[in-house]
């Protein structure tokens, strides 16, 4: 089964934006012939692991355009999200004579799609790009919706742009190759959707999450389609994260990003988000936003799945506090958290006293 979601027309580029989910999808040029017809040069940006693993798939998906496609190999993981890597990709396209009509295809995890999407937004002030997320987390969140970024000064995603891919392709065939650890990295974002989404999505996620995390093909494909559909519906209503609709997607990310940064690469994004959600749950209980009748349900959702332990560095409150004050919505030196009222109902709270935040961090350590 293939699902095609059409986003609204993007205001800045006036192009129709598409996301396609399914398994064993047709070649990219069949999904978006117009992107290929006008593209003199094509660059595939990926990382070494993906290239080794998926070269045959990439070849197949590019069809007769494979010969002549320039391949740019990014460093694996977060090392891709630097100005150095960004300049490397931009210079690579410049040296090969890329023009405004060229096409950039980003195939890989969230770091690859974030970096390449930003490069696409900058090269000659913007060229077409296609997002091909190959990880579970990338297919349900990072690779969709046009947020692109690099890290700055040790803080995640501090320099970036909203720049929609002209096409997003979530092919569940990539997920069949992932090991249990890589699939589990998607658990945090999945549970986020279970808490912010409508009842039907929550039921679907809770029913299939364990099967999906064990690699069940049907469960993975279904959850990718359901989450992608929901995320794109929020993105279409609030593309530039201005009205509070898209902000829902940040549940668990304020503390999660701080944990990820403090772990210095030991905690992958998805795992850090699961801990960030747990932190948000404990804070919601402390600040009494979470209705007492819902506490067991929400705790059951968040503590019901296995999580890698938080490294000791994450419990350094001063460092944690400094990082959460970089939240883009909070304002300089301030903090802002999304808290849970009940599944499906989230509220934002600003300027929480540091003592409360510190007490919550201690409580998280003890759970
Ligand atoms: N990952 C959050 C967003 O796309 O808005």
Q: pLDDT at position 9, please? A: 45
* Cα 74 from chain centroid (whole Å): 18
Q: Is 250 a catalytic residue?
A: yes
Q: pLDDT at position 330, please? A: 77
Statement: residue 177 has pLDDT above 90: yes
- The single residue of 78, 192, 231, 278 carrying the catalytic annotation is 231
Q: pLDDT at position 7, please? A: 55
In terms of phi and psi (left: phi > 0; alpha: psi -120 to 50; beta: otherwise), the region of 135 is beta
The superfamily in CATH containing domain 251-366 is Dehydroquinate synthase-like - alpha domain (1.20.1090.10)
Report CA(239)–ligand 1 centroid distance (Å): 10
Q: Are 127 and 35 in contact (CB under 8 A)?
A: no
For the chain, give every residue range classified as CATH 1.20.1090.10: 251-366
Statement: residue 13 has pLDDT above 70: no
Coil/strand/helix, residue 45: strand
Statement: residue 2 has pLDDT above 80: no
Q: Is 253 a catalytic residue?
A: yes
Dihedral sign from CA coordinates of 58, 62, 66, 71: negative
The least confident of 31-40, 83-92, 120-129 is 31-40
Mean pLDDT, the chain, whole residue set: 93
Ligand 1 atom with the smallest distance to the CA of 145 is: 4
Secondary structure of 108-160 in HEC code, one letter for each residue: ECHHHHHHHHHHHHHHHHCCEEEEEECCHHHHHHHCCCCEEEEEECCEEEEEE
Statement: residue 11 has pLDDT above 60: no
Query: What is the mean predicted confidence (pLDDT) over 234-240?
Result: 89
Q: Is 184 a catalytic residue?
A: no
Q: Is 264 a catalytic residue?
A: no
Report CA(115)–ligand 1 centroid distance (Å): 15
Choose the CATH number for 3-237 among 3.40.50.11540, 3.40.50.1970, 3.30.930.10, 3.30.420.40.
3.40.50.1970
For the chain, give every residue range classified as CATH 3.40.50.1970: 3-237
Q: Is 237 a catalytic residue?
A: no
Which residues, 6+ apart, have CB-to-CB distance to 53 below 8 Å? 177
Dihedral sign from CA coordinates of 343, 207, 139, 136: positive
Q: pLDDT at position 17, please? A: 63
Statement: residue 15 has pLDDT above 70: no
Query: Residues 211-234: pLDDT tens digits?
Result: 999 999 999 999 999 999 999 999
Statement: residue 110 has pLDDT above 50: yes
Q: Using CA positions, which residue lies closest to atom 2 of ligand 1?
A: 249
Ligand 1 atom with the smallest distance to the CA of 147 is: 4
% of the chain at pLDDT higher than 70: 96
Q: Is 189 a catalytic residue?
A: yes
**If pLDDT is split at 50, 70 and 90, which confidence band does 154 have?**
confident
Query: Residues 264-310: pLDDT tens digits?
Result: 888 989 999 999 999 999 999 999 999 999 999 999 999 988 778 89
Ligand 1 atom with the smallest distance to the CA of 246 is: 5
Report CA(142)–ligand 1 centroid distance (Å): 7
Statement: residue 333 has pLDDT above 90: no
Query: Residues 16-74: pLDDT tens digits?
Result: 568 999 999 899 999 999 999 989 999 999 999 999 999 999 999 999 999 999 999 99
Ligand 1 proximal residues by C-beta, below 6 Å: 141, 145, 147, 241, 246, 249-250
Cα separation of 324 and 334, whole Å?
A: 8
Give one DSSP letter per residue of 335-346, joined into a string: -EEEEEEETTEE
Statement: residue 14 has pLDDT above 60: no
Report CA(140)–ligand 1 centroid distance (Å): 10
Strands (E) located in the chain: 3-6, 18-22, 42-47, 70-74, 103-108, 128-133, 147-152, 155-162, 167-171, 336-342, 345-350
Report CA(311)–ligand 1 centroid distance (Å): 25
């Amino acid at each position: 089964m293939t699902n095609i979601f059409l986003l609204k027309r993007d205001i800045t580029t006036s192009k129709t934006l598409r996301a396609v989910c399914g398994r064993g999808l047709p070649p990219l040029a069949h999904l978006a012939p117009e992107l290929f017809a006008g593209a003199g040069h094509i660059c595939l940006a990926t990382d070494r692991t993906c290239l080794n693993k998926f070269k045959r798939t990439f070849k197949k998906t590019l069809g007769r355009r494979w010969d002549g496609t320039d391949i740019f190999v990014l460093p694996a993981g977060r090392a891709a999200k630097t100005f150095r890597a960004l300049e490397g990709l931009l210079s690579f396209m410049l040296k090969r004579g890329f023009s405004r009509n060229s096409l950039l295809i980003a195939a890989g995890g969230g770091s690859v799609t974030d970096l390449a999407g930003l490069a696409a937004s900058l090269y000659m002030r913007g060229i077409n790009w296609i997002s091909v997320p190959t990880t579970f987390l990338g297919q349900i969140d990072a690779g969709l919706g046009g947020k692109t970024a690099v890290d700055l000064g040790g803080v995640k995603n501090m320099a970036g742009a909203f720049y929609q891919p002209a096409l997003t392709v979530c092919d569940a065939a990539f997920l069949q190759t992932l090991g249990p650890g890589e699939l589990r990295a998607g658990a945090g974002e999945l549970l986020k959707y279970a808490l912010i989404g409508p009842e039907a999505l929550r039921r679907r996620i809770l029913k299939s999450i364990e099967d999906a995390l064990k690699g069940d093909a049907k469960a993975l494909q279904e959850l990718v389609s359901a989450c992608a559909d929901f995320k794109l519906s929020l993105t279409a209503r609030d593309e530039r994260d201005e009205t509070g609709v898209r902000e829902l997607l940040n549940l668990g990310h304020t503390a999660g990003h701080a944990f990820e940064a403090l772990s210095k690469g030991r905690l992958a994004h998805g795992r850090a988000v699961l801990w960030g959600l747990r932190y948000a749950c404990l804070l919601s209980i402390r600040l009494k936003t979470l209705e007492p009748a819902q506490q067991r349900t929400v705790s059951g959702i968040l503590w019901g799945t296995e999580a890698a332990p938080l490294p000791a560095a994450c419990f350094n409150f001063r460092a944690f506090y400094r990082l959460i004050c970089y939240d883009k919505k909070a304002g300089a030196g301030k903090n802002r958290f999304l808290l849970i009222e009940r599944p499906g109902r989230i509220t934002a709270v600003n300027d929480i006293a540091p003592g409360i935040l510190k007490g919550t961090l201690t409580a998280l350590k003890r759970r």
